[in-house]
Amino acid sequence: MKRILALLLVLAMLAAACGGSDDSADNATDAGDDTTDTTASTDDTAADSGDESDGDSEAAGDAATIEMWIAFSDDARLGFTRDRAADFNELHPEYNVVVTEFDSYNTVFEQAQLAIEDGNPPEIIHFFEAATQEALDAVDGDGNPIFKSVTEAIGDRTEILGEPVVLGDVVSAATKYYTIDGQLYSMPWNTSSTTMFSNMDILNEAGITEPPATWAEVEAACEAIMALPDAPSEGCITWPNHGWFYEQSLGQMGVDLVNNDNGRSGRATEIFLDSPEAIDYIQWWSDLENSGNYVYTGVQRDWDGTSAAFQAQNVAMLIYSSSDTTALTQAGVDNGFEVKSSFMPYNQDIAYEGNLIGGATLWLANGLSETEEDGALAFLNFFSNPENAAAWHQLTGYIPITNSAVALLEEEGWYNESPNSAVASDQLDAAADTPAATGALVGNFVAIRDVVTAAIEDVLVNDVDVAERMASAQAEAQQQLDDYNELFGE
């Protein structure tokens, strides 16, 4: 008996050890929820990341290492980045760009700040749009900013180590969002917008030839679709309950989220979560849910669940990030239905002002040596050169980030071949140049988004009164902003 017990104990210990390692492997797959973009579907068999980063080890003998920390850990996007780094290392043997992946923007940011405290920061850090204010405000232990403006670092150079500077060529939507005090502090990279994806097979069956463009048209289309004998099993339409969609709607209706021109003419100190327009939007959303047309997956920021419902044809329409345009279009081909991308539906009763971007930029660490800084800048410009920016767009659906990349894609006839890919860029180009349609610059944005999505979830699940719930969310968010400004404000 004792022997059996001992055996059991050994088994249990082994099991515990396995349990532990499972845990860590598992966390790595948990892509950050705070990202406004989502992992391209996992079965994307894109170029394998492979071993490029160590392939240059012999060349990297005395090469300066440029560390790049990014928040993408999926094969497609991480692999793309690793491949570009390998290309760059081949062109510039005096440098060795090393890409390290993290599971979310927050992790990258935290780890980078800790590394800065340690005096050994990565040169290039990937960080998302909602935390732009926080990245600008962040300081190290001595009170120095932790990031350096790339505009300032480039100066009036037109090429660095032979790589042409593309910063000035960045498309207007991204420039508009990320320009603060007249300069781009970081190099825009993955940039997307919210677009709608429609299952045209279902829409056509219901006698609808074009995807609905307004809220009223969505309602009408859903009536027709849900009346079909073989109506989609879950409902008509879905999208993730993420703060980004709420902000997009405010942009469409021309309403600022915060004061001081959406935080762009001065630090935002007041937030307006419960504007009448915002309440209209959430009321419309809630009504759509109550009529059985909108499908709530029950989880906030559920990129995977909503996308899966659309791909399984359990819903007819999906409002999503354009970052997955390529994958969703392909999913339609694979599952035998036509996917059409269109602008995010807007409120027909209010003049349309514009949709905003989402995504992330690459920040340059402060306090680098000249060699390191030049290497990092050369890589940033190489990374978004027309060929690379175009390839990135084709792989994912993020917009081509420079005008020359757009020109290159047009020349190649890419947009004729895949019209869905043009939608996000077109939608962003159609936006007015106003603070509302540019998007808010505000501190503690992640927490504020949490307040918004929690309130919306309460409305959707518990059917509480929209105006009352948003009023209490407003108080909560204002507290978050006040706290932030107490720490970071002038």
Partner 1 sequence: MSGSLQLVLSLIVGAAIGVLSYGYRTPRQAALGGALGVLGTGAISAALGFCMYAADAESTEGVLGIALGAAFAWMFGAGTRAVLNRPGEGSGVGGGGFGESQIRTGAYRLGWWWPWLLLSPTLIILVFFLYWPAFQTFRLSTKLTRLGAPRVGERCLANFSELLIPQPVLVATLPLVAVGLIWGIGLWQRRSNPDSVGYSVARILRPLGPLVLLLALYFIFEDVNGGYRRIYLNTVIISVGTVALSMAFGLGLAYLTFRRIRGVTVYRTLLIWPYAVSPPIAGILFFMIFNATGGVVAALSSRWGIDFPDYTQNASLARMTIVLASVWKLLGYNLLFFLAGLQTVPRDQIEAAALDGANAWQRFRTVVLPALGPISFFLLITNLTYSFFDVYGTIDFLTKGAPAGATSVAIYEIIRVGVDNGDLGRGAAQSVVLFLAVIALTAWQFNQSEGRINYGGA
Q: How far is the CB of 458 from partner 1 (least distance, A)?
A: 5
Q: What are phi and psi of 292, to 5 degrees?
A: 80, 10
Q: What is the rounded CA–CA span in Å between residue 107 and residue 18?
A: 25
Q: How far is the CB of 231 from partner 1 (least distance, A)?
A: 15
| Binding segment (CB under 8 A) for partner 1, from list 6-14, 177-185, 205-213, 395-403 | 6-14
By beta-carbon proximity to partner 1, the closer residue of 107 and 434 is 107
DSSP percent split of the chain into helix, strand, coil, nearest 5 = 50, 15, 35
Quick check: 15 binds partner 1 (CB under 8 A)?
Answer: yes
**81 near 361, Cβ under 8 Å?**
no
Q: What character string, x for contact with partner 1 (CB under 8 A) and - otherwise, covers 232-271?
A: --x-------------------------------------
Radius of gyration (Cα) for the chain, nearest Å?
A: 24
In the region spanning residues 181 to 240, those forming contacts with partner 1, defined by CB under 8 A, are 234
Give the N- to C-terminal CA distance of the chain in Å, as an integer.
Answer: 72
| Binding segment (CB under 8 A) for partner 1, from list 161-169, 188-196, 351-359, 439-447 | 439-447
Q: How far is the CB of 107 from partner 1 (least distance, A)?
A: 9
Q: What is the rounded CA–CA span in Å between residue 324 and residue 307?
A: 9
- Any idea of the CA torsion for 351, 354, 329, 332, to the nearest 10 degrees? -30
CA atoms within 13 A on the CB side of 472: 11
Using CB under 8 A, pick the residue from 119, 143, 336, 413 that binds partner 1: 143
Angle between helices 303-311 and 325-335 (to 10 degrees): 30
Using CB under 8 A, pick the residue from 47, 228, 312, 351 that binds partner 1: 312
Using CB under 8 A, pick the residue from 158, 209, 416, 462 that binds partner 1: 462
Quick check: 27 binds partner 1 (CB under 8 A)?
Answer: yes
As given in the structure block, the two tokens for residue 41 are: 């579907």
Q: What is the rounded CA–CA span in Å between residue 272 and residue 285?
A: 19
Residues near partner 1 (CB under 8 A) are 1, 4-5, 7-9, 11-12, 14-16, 18-20, 22-23, 26-27, 30, 33-34, 106, 109-110, 113, 134, 137-140, 143, 146, 234, 296-302, 305, 308-309, 312, 314, 444, 446-447, 450-451, 454-455, 457-458, 461-462, 469, 472-473, 476, 483-484, 486-488
